[in-house]
Amino acid sequence: MASSQLAVVLSLLLLQLAFYSATASEDASTKTVEKNVDVVVEGMVYCQSCEHFGTWSLAGAEPIPAAQVSVICKDHKDRVSFYKAFETDAHGYFYGQMKGFKMGHYLLDHPLHSCHVKLVSSPLENCNIFSNVNYGLNGSPLRYENKRLFGKNYEAVIYAAGPLAFHPAHCTPSNHP
């Protein structure tokens, strides 16, 4: 009798072990590698020509290397949830990875609704006055232009802002006949 009880107990233990092994291997095979998705903002910063001072025209504008812009995001309660400054490259282009950006609410805290890009500084002494071209002074809204970067276990969703512009401090008045 004791040996039959021992056989039943051993059988139950083996059955439980077999079930655990099958479940563990099933879990391992169904697990997928989590993909890292980054939010990125890109844009250009220019020096607006004096000919177009007071307009939003960027005709004749020159890119500004080493200009600073900031990305500011506010949550659905109007609290700053993300802030970071980025610098333009030699061609006036900025590409800013928003590491640490989190959405508390899927729709209300989405980058298209909650984030803006503002001008911060220009390294050019002859072109360092803020303009509101594309709302660079008040906060240029982001646009989604269906741009993404893909890599192994990586994806970047790219939003655009601007183009933004500073303008010269001293523009000579144009003479109109």
Cα separation of 119 and 85, whole Å?
9
Transcribe 64-112 into DSSP letters: -TT-EEEEEEE-TTS-EEEEEEEE--TTSEEEEE-TT---SSTTTTSHH
Tell me the whole-structure pTM to 2 decimals.
Answer: 0.73
In terms of domains, do 44 and 12 share one?
no
35 dihedral zone (left: phi>0; alpha: psi -120 to 50; beta) = beta
62-89 pLDDT, tens per residue? 999 999 999 999 888 888 989 999 999 9
Residue 95: how many other CB atoms lie within 10 Å: 13
87-100 pLDDT, tens per residue? 999 999 999 998 88
Mention every residue, 6+ apart, whose C-beta is less than 8 A from residue 33. Answer: 153
Q: Which domain holds residue 114?
A: 36-167
In terms of domains, do 44 and 15 share one?
no
DSSP at 137: T
In terms of domains, do 148 and 108 share one?
yes
